[in-house]
Structure 1
């Protein structure tokens, strides 16, 4: 199958192996939808002749609406390791909302969705289950646009501010302290924590740590022999041992072992 481009699989563990079984396509939403949605993603797999496969992902600070069998679901931020068991052949189409942008759809703090998935009908009504099969039959951006466009909430300026905050973090994996981020943004640490609980579904500390782990996992997968001491300094860890503990707690194996298995 076609290999996903690097930025499309950031957070996907063992991306080279995954690319042998799974294809990933990014679809662009309509302009008015893009205010709330980063992109749509279409994942197809064909495990014919292969045993079931567990794909592990270090999730991002985003809520997803996923059109899948037997019915569509909304996935909150998974703060642990997301694991999806795949078998046979199939596909799913997901909507990756911008950080904070699902809050206007939800009508309640997004933190309530953390580490959970719920039926999409809870937020989009029973019609989402009727259109789920249609979208799976014709998995295109246009189909999803048609569904979301009439359901878009009024723009939320706070959600857009929060999205910019998260972008600042994810674009700078060497940024590692919440108090530094708060000073840079001109807000208190407590205000930052409340905003993230309300709009993101994960704490600013978690988002900071996850950005560093994404970078570490990508470097481990792509660089072969890994200079852990240098990487720890680059990512703002106190030392190599701190990076190793953090990575092992999230991924389940040390960065050195992970690098040797990719």
Structure 2
């Protein structure tokens, strides 16, 4: 099982990462091969802070499972920018599912979990309490990850061809810059837009248009946070926007700042990081 530290790679979803990575350590671990179709990665955050810190996050279209001292949770797909408050000393051992990847474990339409945080036991029953104790009492992160994977294997539902197709299409919506609208994705799938939306609400939780917009704004924010000079008109074209104004409007609506203001915040954090 491999691991990686985001300072050497991409930090999609973590806003102003230079500010956050001064205050916490984030490590990612690849899932076991038999779970890789459903799990994107496992992640572990550790911190020890003299003062509280609030990390802003632009969520991916997926579910996260988190084992933590103040109550282990299933964090449903979040449509809004989130703020995670860290204080004192702590650790979270968590699993990030692929879009749609949590469906075999929840066994309910994913739209029910959108913008919701539920106790882990609500999904996994008594096994959740045993898992929480095992992970929190275990200082070895990889052993904690393996314990989470054992729980997932024990609760995995039957295969579902509809899920497989929806997950493939969601990945296409995230990564294919030639897909600009839900109609484009429906054409690829050979179904009506209405049928596509029903499948996405059931297996993913949100519609394809939302996924398209979110992935593009995350990519734009990543470019800004890297410190590179961004040619916004060219980037708008690359990401499939009609023009620069549409990208800037989407960016501000999701990130909460104009691209220029966000770039200034990231630059200031990078300079302070030194």
TM-score (norm 1): 0.92
| Unmatched tracts of structure 1, length 5 or more | none
| Unmatched tracts of structure 2, length 5 or more | 267-274
**Matched residue, 1:86:** 86
Task: Tell me if 1:257 matches 2:261.
Answer: yes
**Matched residue, 2:9:** 6
Which runs of at least 4 in structure 1 moved beyond 4 Å after TM superposition? none
Deviation at 1:97, TM superposition (A): 1.8
**Matched residue, 2:22:** 20
1:1-80 pair list within 5 angstroms: 4-7=7-10, 9-47=11-49, 49=50, 51-80=51-80
1:100-119 pair list within 5 angstroms: 100-119=100-119
Aligned equivalent of 2:240, options 227, 236, 240: 236
Deviation at 1:76, TM superposition (A): 0.8
Deviation at 1:101, TM superposition (A): 2.3
Distance 1:217 1:173, change over 3 A: farther
Deviation at 1:174, TM superposition (A): 5.1
1:170-189 pair list within 5 angstroms: 170-173=174-177, 175-189=179-193
Query: Secondary structure at the residue paired with 1:20?
Result: coil
Deviation at 1:29, TM superposition (A): 2.6
**Matched residue, 1:195:** 199
Deviation at 1:71, TM superposition (A): 2.1
Query: Secondary structure at the residue paired with 2:34?
Result: coil
Q: Aligned partners of 2:103, 2:147: CA distance in 1, in Å? A: 23
Q: Aligned partners of 2:192, 2:66: CA distance in 1, in Å? A: 35
Distance 1:116 1:256, change over 3 A: same
Deviation at 1:224, TM superposition (A): 3.6
| Mean Cα deviation higher: 234-243 or 26-35 | 26-35
Query: Secondary structure at the residue paired with 1:96?
Result: strand
**Matched residue, 1:127:** 127
CA-to-aligned-CA distance 1:62-105 (integer Å, 9 cap, x gap): 11111112221111110010211111121101111222122222
Task: Tell me if 1:205 matches 2:209.
Answer: yes
How many residue pairs get matched?
A: 258
CA-to-aligned-CA distance 1:10-68 (integer Å, 9 cap, x gap): 11101112111122111233232333222211111222x3x211111111111111111
Q: Aligned partners of 1:3, 1:86: CA distance in 2, in Å? A: 18
CA-to-aligned-CA distance 1:108-133 (integer Å, 9 cap, x gap): 21001101100111110022123203
Conserved? CA contact 2:131–2:148, under 8 Å: no
Q: Aligned partners of 1:217, 1:173: CA distance in 2, in Å? A: 16
TM-score (norm 2): 0.88
